[in-house]
Amino acid sequence: MNRFSILIICLLVSFSGFAQKVSNEIILRTSSNTSTKTEMLRSIKSMDSDINYVELKPLCKSLDIYLLIIETTSGSDFSKKAINILQFNKDVDYAYANSMTHRRATPNDPRVPNQWNLGLVRAIEAWDVTTGGEDFNGNEIVIAVMDDGFDIDHEDIQSNLWMNNNEIIGDGIDNDFNGYIDDKHGIDLDSEDGNIDLESHGTSVMGIIGADSNNEIGISGINWNSKVMVLSSVTNEAKVIAGYDYIYQMRNMYNLSSGITGAYVVATNYSLGIDDEFGDDHPAWCNLYDLLGDVGIVSVGATTNSNSNVDEQGDLPTTCSSPYFIGVTNTDKDDLKVTNAGFGQEHIDLSAPGRNTETFKPDSQYGTFGGTSASAPHVTGALGLLYSIKCENLAEFIKERPGEAALRIRQSILNGTDALPSLNGVTASGGRLNILKSMSDLSEFCSNDPTIPISGDLQVDFVREDKNGTYTIFYKSPDTREVTLTIYDMIGRKLYTTKSIPSVFSRSNERINLDRYQAGVYIATLTLEDEVVSYMFRHISQ
């Protein structure tokens, strides 16, 4: 079988993500003799008068691998131009830019190995895009958690507790005019001030969302750096209403003052509720979700811890019919719906890990926590990460149209789920939270041409003819795994190959030059592990 036949068989089988390049350094492989190497260096040096000298430094003699170093007067980078020349040199097997290595965004918290949930929801890969904290415009992201109580002195939350900088603590005055005195980290709905009650349930919820991460202590939260606003003693419907009102006032103040007062709350979590009650019978509670959504807040709630169809039997808050609300049920480490967890194709949107989730316990302790109460904060934390994506277009959309943006980000949570057989027909999405896929779903905002999706199934979208035999190949990939782009001619000869990490939040593309080759049809192949796709295009010789 000839090489072209093999190629055809292969073809038929078919967040700021690129590696940082080292300027003017190129890794290449060549087994050419000394005179050929000298001629190669001469051709590179002659590219521009700004180039002072070119050096070929051995890296691995046994494999004929070298580092080409270009020194310039101005500091301009000639790597791409040099690579274009080298890749079409018959004596060079490959040539590509030297890249900086970096520490992967994996936290050093000692109990992370116990957090099986992080891998399941693809949080670890998502952290290579963002770890939370601030959005593109520098707004400090705040997640509001309403619960029974919190250990705000826990060792692993100190850096991530929200601080009301417009309140002078201890002076007995409502300095920011929000109706509460000394609300340093939030409020307690019993005392109606900033004295947060201590309870275990809320402490565990808080840890899943926002444990201080990469600090060599305890666990990692879904968000490494976003701030957690706490509202304690939220144990009846009246307090739920008052709590949501406080959150609304703080975000609305922030919007109206352009960030001078209030808080940039983007999501709320409530992991308590009332079994066998319908939202239509509790309008004061349920109508608050639209109010919160209008100012840019997505709300998340846990469903009942009983194996009941909430569409038929009721549940609060998950039967509240608001487009700004997300109802969450519980699945385990095997992606099976936990028996004692509510379901409903209309009102339960998705699942997240819950059973035996490693998190906080009071007195700076750690342990496992379960139920839908543990599932909901995974989704709430994911919302915080989505809002922190460093993309200008997305940030402007959120700033100018916060309500619409909240709806769009909520939809990305649902669009990004991993389909699970155990959830088919019993939840709206039929799937479990996947943070990385939800990020990818938002990638349209970071493309120069929003009509062209920049992520999805492995695919070469199109090849654009530029000038002087240069072409730009635009492609997309489902995630940030390394892909290989190869160019073949129609007799199966490999003319060009390169490896790169696709970007989730910018258009993936690669430029090639075919000026040295005759006119004809060429084939671009894209390889991701064992998957290969192709695209034929015509080169018109200049």
Condensed to tens digits (0 to 9), the pLDDT of residues 47-96 reads 999 999 899 998 877 778 889 999 999 889 999 999 989 988 888 888 88
Percent of the chain with pLDDT over 70: 91
Kindly state the average pLDDT of the residues 154-171.
96
Task: Identify the DSSP state of 198.
Answer: P
CA distance 328 to 351: 5
| Residue found under tokens 């199934």 | 457
Does the pLDDT of residue 19 top 60, yes or no?
no
Does the pLDDT of residue 436 top 50, yes or no?
yes
Does the pLDDT of residue 10 top 50, yes or no?
no
Kindly state the average pLDDT of the residues 457-482.
81
pLDDT band at 505 (very low <50, low <70, confident <90, very high): low
Q: What is the pLDDT of residue 440?
A: 82
Give yes or no for a contact between 99 and 354, defined as CB atoms under 8 angstroms apart: no
Least confident range from 17-21, 107-111, 129-133: namely 17-21
Does the pLDDT of residue 6 top 50, yes or no?
no
Does the pLDDT of residue 15 top 60, yes or no?
no
Tell me the DSSP string of 117-141: HHHHTTHHHHTTT--SSB-TT--B-
Q: What is the pLDDT of residue 1?
A: 36
pLDDT band at 448 (very low <50, low <70, confident <90, very high): very low
Amino acid at 351: S
pLDDT band at 100 (very low <50, low <70, confident <90, very high): low
pLDDT band at 500 (very low <50, low <70, confident <90, very high): confident
Give yes or no for a contact between 292 and 247, defined as CB atoms under 8 angstroms apart: yes
Cα maximum dimension of the chain? 87
Does the pLDDT of residue 13 top 50, yes or no?
no
Mean residue pLDDT across the chain: 88
Pull the structure tokens for residue 22.
Answer: 């080292």
Centre a 10 Å sphere on the Cβ of residue 119 and count the other Cβ atoms it contains. 13
Least confident range from 34-43, 382-391, 404-413, 494-503: namely 494-503
Domains of the chain: 1-20+449-542 (2.60.40.1930), 112-446 (3.40.50.200)
Task: Identify the DSSP state of 449.
Answer: S
Left, alpha or beta for 349 (phi > 0: left; psi -120 to 50: alpha)? alpha
pLDDT in tens, 394-434: 898 999 999 999 999 999 999 999 999 999 999 999 999 99
CA 487 vs. chain centroid, Å, equals 31
Least confident range from 83-97, 141-155, 284-298, 500-514: namely 500-514
Q: What is the pLDDT of residue 11?
A: 26
Does the pLDDT of residue 329 top 90, yes or no?
yes
Q: What is the pLDDT of residue 302?
A: 97
Left, alpha or beta for 216 (phi > 0: left; psi -120 to 50: alpha)? left
Does the pLDDT of residue 115 top 80, yes or no?
yes
Percent of the chain with pLDDT over 90: 62
Q: What is the pLDDT of residue 312?
A: 97
pLDDT band at 16 (very low <50, low <70, confident <90, very high): very low
